[in-house]
Amino acid sequence: MKTTTTILLAVLSLGAVGGAGYWFGSRSSAVHGAIAAAPSASAAASQPRKLLYYRNPMGLPDTSSTPKKDPMGMDYIAVYEDEETAAGPAGTPQIRMTTDKVQKLGVRTEAAALRALGKTLRAAGRVEPDERRMFAIAPKFEGYVERLHVNVTGQPVSKGQALFEVYSPELFSAQREYLVAMQGMLAMKDAGPEAQSSMKQLAQSSLMRLRNWDLSAEQIQALVGSGEVSRTVTFRSPVSGIVTEKKALQGMRFMPGEGLYQVTDLSAVWVVADVFERDIAAVKLGTQAGVKLSAYPGQVLQGRITYIYPTMKAETRTIPVRIELPNPRQQLKPAMFAQVEMPVGTNKPVLTVPDSAVIDSGTRRLVLVQRQEGRFEPREVELGLRGDAYIEVTRGVKEGEQVVVAANFLIDAESNLKAAIGGLGGHSGHGSPAKGSEPPPGDAAATRANPVGHRAEGVVEGVDPTAGTVSLNHGPVPTLKWPAMTMDFKTANASMLAGLKTGQRVSVEFVERQSGEYVLTSIAAAPANPATTATPAAKPPGTTHSGH
């Protein structure tokens, strides 16, 4: 009996201890459960996400208050109030990309630096004769061409060389009048002063008439010395040069002022270059210019800019610039085409970035500044002078900052640059929504929103390393609502073509760089499991596709 009582007491004691332990354990579990459940209860009690609007899937400045599709059939993307914005220290929107994606796109950066922004301005030109070295031979009286001494256009002549002889009744009478006046002066040397003065005035008037008709001093002296009137008068070349125009014919009649010959001195010529309107401000008088002609390969002739014409050709939007060149060996022929190189710019260092770093939207200019690995900040910049490969930045970038110089357009497409600029946040991965932006259950509009990047699987039909393209027989592309087809894709960089072979099954990612131009950003071997691989379309005739 005593033993039974002892056992009963032990069982009751263990039960009490176990009950107390169970009570404390339950109490502790309840407390911990309440603490753990607090965030869930708080999250459940939070307000539903507020939909702001729907934006264009290609990043165009177009929004809608209701779900809609763009002209290519892509759904507009929902934008919520609580979506994360990747912002820099000062709240500036940034674009986030994974390191793997940066490598796939072939992104390269270069530091903004101070440089002397030299530039060689190139323009097309043509050789023209120096207008100050062109001479026309046009008699100032009526007459007839009696004889031609130079009768071929293009014939070289020297200064004073006889060109042609003319007969003129008026000139013949003027010569006789002068001889009579000279003889009268001699005959009246003993007459009174008044008679001598009258005869002298007559002689001087006759002499002035001959001089005004371009008779040379030698011809007049010969007339006085011989005392005989010459039936013809010889016209001579006023300068050494080339006969560039000849209208005189043997026996033809000419009228006063009619040009019979034109002689041009080609010992120095002009090269007139057509400079575009945007470059004319950099051209300065006195600048040395190099001239190249296809007729003399390897030769660079040096001249000097002597005149900038005050008018512009409206048809070509160019302004003529004159360069003077010596031409002692007559190598430069009028009407020859020339390539002119004019060094312009300044020797003063200015802050510059590569010209490939600038994205010009038409209304503003942007560069992508790398803040850290995988983070890019779009900056609006103001530009100054342009060099051959660099451009001056007057505002928006500091010296030493790394700017993206390659694959800018791919970053634009992958991360929706326009949305990031507007402060809407960037996408953190290819075709993935930003962190915290997962649509709530039942939100059909957000669920069917398509990313900018697209995926496809198919078979390589051909590879063109020279053009950097791949012909791909791919399966359907749901994000673009494309059927299976064969089409050509460009690649982001040439290294992506290494190892590709015809007939190889691949999985690709691509973006639309511009309307109808699709660029591959990733190429990888497709899964071997047929159940998980989209079957490319058979290639019936007429199903190739080069753009959408």
pLDDT band, residue 434 (cuts 50/70/90) = very low
pLDDT at 530 over 90: no
Mean local confidence (pLDDT), 463-489: 87
pLDDT at 418 over 60: no
Mean local confidence (pLDDT), 289-314: 93
pLDDT at 59 over 70: no
Mean local confidence (pLDDT), 103-116: 85
> Lowest-confidence range among 82-91, 179-188, 345-354?
82-91
* Percent of the chain residues topping a pLDDT of 90: 29
Q: How far apart are CA 143 and CA 312, in angstroms?
A: 44
DSSP 497: G
pLDDT band, residue 22 (cuts 50/70/90) = very low
pLDDT at 420 over 50: no
Query: What's the confidence (pLDDT) of residue 44?
Result: 41
* Percent of the chain residues topping a pLDDT of 70: 75
Residue 260 DSSP SS3: coil
Classify residue 133 by burial, with Cβ atoms within 10 Å: 0-12, 13-18, 19+: middle
Over the chain, what is the mean pLDDT?
Answer: 77
> Lowest-confidence range among 3-12, 165-174, 470-479?
3-12
> Lowest-confidence range among 189-193, 215-219, 275-279, 325-329?
189-193
Mean local confidence (pLDDT), 2-29: 41
Q: Give 329's contacts (C-beta < 8 A, 6+ positions apart).
A: none
Q: Using alpha carbons only, what angle is made at residue 18 by residues 17 and 21, rounded to the nearest 5 degrees?
A: 85
pLDDT at 426 over 60: no
Q: Is pLDDT larger for residue 237 or for residue 421?
A: 237
Residue 47 DSSP SS3: coil
Q: How far apart are CA 121 and CA 17, in angstroms?
A: 98
> Lowest-confidence range among 153-167, 211-225, 243-257, 527-541?
527-541
- Residue given tokens 């120095």 in the structure block: 268
Q: Taking the mean position of all CA atoms in its chain, how far away is CA 131?
A: 35
Mean local confidence (pLDDT), 507-536: 72
pLDDT digits (tens, 9 = 90+) for 395-417: 989 999 999 988 766 665 555 55
Residue 322 DSSP SS3: strand
Query: What's the confidence (pLDDT) of residue 408?
Result: 62
158: amino acid identity, one letter: S
Q: How far apart are CA 380 and CA 4, in angstroms?
A: 94
- Residue given tokens 């026309």 in the structure block: 136
pLDDT digits (tens, 9 = 90+) for 118-153: 778 899 999 999 999 999 999 989 999 999 999 999
The top-scoring range by mean pLDDT among 207-211, 340-344, 370-374 is 340-344
Contact call for residues 238 and 137 (beta carbons, < 8 A): yes
Residue 365 DSSP SS3: strand
Query: What's the confidence (pLDDT) of residue 473?
Result: 92
pLDDT at 166 over 90: yes
Q: Is pLDDT larger for residue 283 or for residue 34?
A: 283
- The total of other beta-carbon atoms located within 10 Å of residue 404's CB is 26
pLDDT at 114 over 80: yes
Distances (CA, A) of 218 to 145, 227, 233, 409: 21, 14, 12, 80
pTM above 0.75, yes or no: no
